[in-house]
Amino acid sequence: MTAPLPDAAPTNWVDRHAPEALRPWLKLGRFDRPTGVWLLMLPGWQGIALAAAAAEQRLPDPRLLLLFLLGAALMRAAGCAYNDIVDRDFDAKVARTAGRPIPSGQISVGQAWGFVVACCLISLAILLSFPPLAIALGAGSLLLVAAYPFMKRITWWPQAWLGLTFNWGALLGFAAATGTLGWPAILLYASGIFWTLGYDTIYAVQDLEDDALAGVKSSARRLGDAAPRAVLGFYAAATFLALAAAYTAGLGPLFWPPAALFALHLSRQAQRLDLSDTGRALALFKSNALAGFILFVAACAGGWRP
């Protein structure tokens, strides 16, 4: 029987309920750790909601929300599997990742490539239902995804590249809803980049010692003791840019109360970050699913004008 991976909840549904033969595959796609799905999906939902609010449609299209949920789950699974293929030698040296299906020998590299292709083909079918601009944006995101695993080898800021990648959905969601782009979508995308830079720096705190031994670069290692202050700065930039996106989209006054809650949530994360407490770092990272959902609610609320 396979044991839960270190950054998965001991009571996760994969280890509790999934058939034994499927567990390595579900873990390869990180389905035992759904936080990443929400963090990839929510920028897309925010972009869809922002577009609906700007067009005074009040509520976002539920069909688009569902398609983005499915697409995020599949592309996150494909991206994680691809990342594990590229990083299999590094992962074997890091305690938190050594038990993953590829470095532990549960799934071969060839089998993992088959998993990546299958997820991408299903995602492509979803993408082709969108307007032409959204299709082009979706295709363009593959360049970001393909380059990401190599960033930790060449820059101290792979978290910034993850921000470019994970928040591409803000542009894609806006384009899927409207067939166009504009300043609200661009500002929301910029906000998401800083948001991800903050929460993935928190995530990297878990691996400070192992990353140093393995020669893996990260913003947490580069910032050192200044990481909590830097995270606060990243989150301040994310908040400012999210407010700018709402302002340029002409959102109504109901946007502002949940937006204030979003800002408070992020500031509390930075205040509670302790570089010596890896358990707290993981909990703070996971709480960003709630933070992103709050901003989505804010965008929906901003569509309701008196």
Comparing 90 with 99, the larger pLDDT belongs to 99
Domain ranges across the chain: 19-43+60-302
The pTM (predicted TM-score) of the whole model is: 0.88
Burial zone of 131 (CB within 10 Å; 0-12 exposed, 13-18 middle, 19+ buried): middle
CATH class of 19-43+60-302: mainly alpha
CB of 158 within 8 A of CB of 152?
yes
* pLDDT, tens digit (0-9, with 9 covering 90-100), for 5-31: 555 566 677 888 788 888 888 889 998
What percentage of residues in the chain have a pLDDT greater than 70? 96
Nearest CA to 249 among 58, 54, 57, 56? 54
* pLDDT, tens digit (0-9, with 9 covering 90-100), for 94-120: 777 888 888 888 999 999 999 999 999
Per-residue model confidence (pLDDT) at position 215: 78
Average pLDDT for the chain: 90
Per-residue model confidence (pLDDT) at position 94: 74
